[in-house]
Structure 1
Amino acid sequence: MKFPYGLADFAAVISEGYYYADRTQYIHEFEQASKYLLFLRPRRFGKSLILSMLENYYDVRKKDQFEALFGHLHIPKLCEI
């Protein structure tokens, strides 16, 4: 199992088979939150990777890759509801 230490590119983490702790269930909560979000987490805690995940989720140019990137994660199950 490969760990993405220092790697903050969501697409690379998923496509290259790194371990990813699924945080896509929080996308719905981010959408319901206030206008400004502040991530107060320690260094090396995945803040940039979460932002990269959100970038890949909302980027219309990557809609053809959605199934490959997010198909096995939690968010498609939430979208079906």
Structure 2
Amino acid sequence: MEALIYLFNIIIAVYLFMDAKKHDKNPWLWGILGLLFSFITLGIYWIITGKKLLGWLILIAYIVWIILGFIGVVAVGMFDALN
């Protein structure tokens, strides 16, 4: 599972590095940010470069995913505390 996450990060970083040149953005900056923060960086990049709807969808979906994961961790912790 972790390998899949790393693969997504690498794919996003390579995409951002290659596409940043087309939009006169710093490819190294966007590539590194994409490697570290993946979908958040991708969403922000698409918002900045004019793909606003797709960027906002990615950004909101990723934030919801993080919130649901946090709620799941808290719920499991509470369930374990009750037993």
Q: Is the helix fraction higher in 1 or 2?
A: 2
Higher-Rg member (1/2): 2
Greater RCO (CA < 8 Å, at least 6 residues apart): 1
Same fold (TM over 0.5): no
